Structure 1
Amino acid sequence: MRKLPYILPLLLALLVAGCGKQESDLPVNTRLGGEFTLTDHNGEPFSQAQLKGKVSILFFGYTHCPDICPAVLARVAQVYRQLQEAGEADQVQPVFITFDPERDTAEHLNEYLPWFKADIIGLTGSLAEIREVATQYGVVFIKDQEEQDYLFTHSDYIYLLDDQGRVRKLYPADFTIDEVVTDAKSLL
């Protein structure tokens, strides 16, 4: 019986040491995100549930954007390549959701996204489906013109999702690459 007081702290230490990964300091945003199903760049149904198990970097935009969207995709690609160099890219999934389904078909996304060399999943769908997902994430987009070369006014936040699909952090379009890399690593 005398050995019992010495065994309890040892058991407690072993239990704590065996708990697995440490929880990130990034808070869970309970007001943004949620389940969705859209069409991926291969023309297949893609649900938010398919992202579970990986940290995701999510961005809404459109491929005909003259400036911000391609610049953000290039920065997301840089984050992905830094994680690749660290051997952790297989645990991270960049995702691009278009809000221009008229021009950003699955076929177009399939041709466009490989230019960024970051294994980005492109998602499209009907305008109603995209609006629903955009609303879940607090994304605003407004079509500026009805002409062929129309543009959009839109919010441009980047979302970091944990391996359970929960929003953990938002970044502005001019985010610091090292900050996103560090934050993503904290969720792995």
Structure 2
Amino acid sequence: MRKLPYILSLLVLILLAGCDKPESDLPVNTRLGGEFSLTDQDGKPFSQDNLKGQVSILFFGYTHCPDICPAVLARVAQVYRNLDEAGLADRVQPVFITFDPERDTAEHLKEYLPWFKAEMVGLTGSLAEIRQVAEQYGVVFIKGDEEENYLFTHSDYIYLLDDQARVRKLYPADFNIDEVAADAESLL
């Protein structure tokens, strides 16, 4: 009879283990990401620790981009709105990191990002800080030669991060909105 409580305890543990949400099929990318420290659109410090506890959709770009960056931000915002309609947006954070800190100040990001209606966090910092973060994510950006109204040549991947701020998937700029939303949901 002494074995009965042990067997019941073991059975309860097995049943509880089966109640957990299944792990996502998206692999963890151990080569991208890492610790960083930047400044958000409110002028407050922001690090990778601020990304933990939620799924993040991360994009690097600049606000004076004439074409790709605003189009990608609009697509990221649509993913967020789709997740909001499903009641999941409170656990998802779109994040925009500029590589143009000269023009994309915290104040400018605070004015620019609300146009996308997606509760997006905008990050800036010194050029050295931004270069470090960009390198950690494999982002390439090259400033044009113009004195004013300069443009950047840049990579344009979107990063899906899990609730531990680990990169789980990359998408091209013309990503499928439903795919990203489904992948984000799989990490919740």
1:11 aligns with 2:12: yes
Alpha-carbon deviation of 1:2?
Answer: 11
Alignment of 1:15-26 (within 5 A): 15-18=16-19, 20-26=20-26
The question of 1:38 aligning with 2:72 is answered: no
CA distance in 1, matches of 2:2, 2:45: 62
Partner of 2:95: 95
- The normalised TM-score by structure 1 is 0.94
Could you say which residue in structure 1 is the equivalent of 2:65? Answer: 65
* Structure 1 residues 103 and 12: CA distance shift in structure 2, 3 A: same
Instruction: Write the distance in 2 (CA, Å) between the matches of 1:65 and 1:116.
Output: 15
Task: Tell me which amino acid in the other structure corresponds to 1:45.
Answer: P
Does residue 142 in structure 1 map to residue 142 in structure 2?
Answer: yes
Question: How much does 1:144 deviate?
Answer: 1.4
RMSD between aligned alpha carbons? Answer: 1.7
TM-score calculated relative to the size of structure 2: 0.94
Matches within 5 A, 1:27-176: 27-176=27-176
Go from structure 1 to structure 2 and tell me whether the alpha carbon gap of 1:6 and 1:101 turns closer, same or farther (over 3 Å shift): closer
Query: How much does 1:7 deviate?
Result: 4.6
Post-superposition offset of 1:174: 0.1
Instruction: Give the secondary structure class of the aligned counterpart of 2:16.
Output: helix
Counterparts of 2:138 and 2:118 in 1: how far apart (Å)? 25
Q: Deviation per CA, 1:123-165: give whole Å up to 9, x if none.
A: 0000000000000000000001232110000000000000000
1:8 shift after superposition: 7.6
> Per-residue deviation at 1:6?
7.4
Distance 2:119 2:51 in 1: 13
In structure 2, C-alpha distance between the alignment counterparts of 1:156 and 1:91, rounded to whole Å:
24
Q: Look up the equivalent residue of 2:157 and give its one-letter code.
A: Y
Deviates further, 20-29 or 117-126: 20-29
Percent sequence identity over aligned pairs: 80
Instruction: In structure 1, list runs of 5 or more residues that go unmatched.
Output: none
Q: 1:44, CA displacement in angstroms? A: 1.0
AA of the residue aligned to 2:16:
L
Unaligned 5+ segments in structure 2 are none
Secondary structure (helix, strand or coil) at the match of 1:135 reads helix
Q: Give the number of equivalent residue pairs.
A: 187
Q: State the Cα distance separating 1:9 from its structure 2 match.
A: 7.4
Moved more, 38-47 or 54-63: 38-47
Q: In structure 2, what is the Cα distance between the partners aligned to 1:166 and 1:110?
A: 26
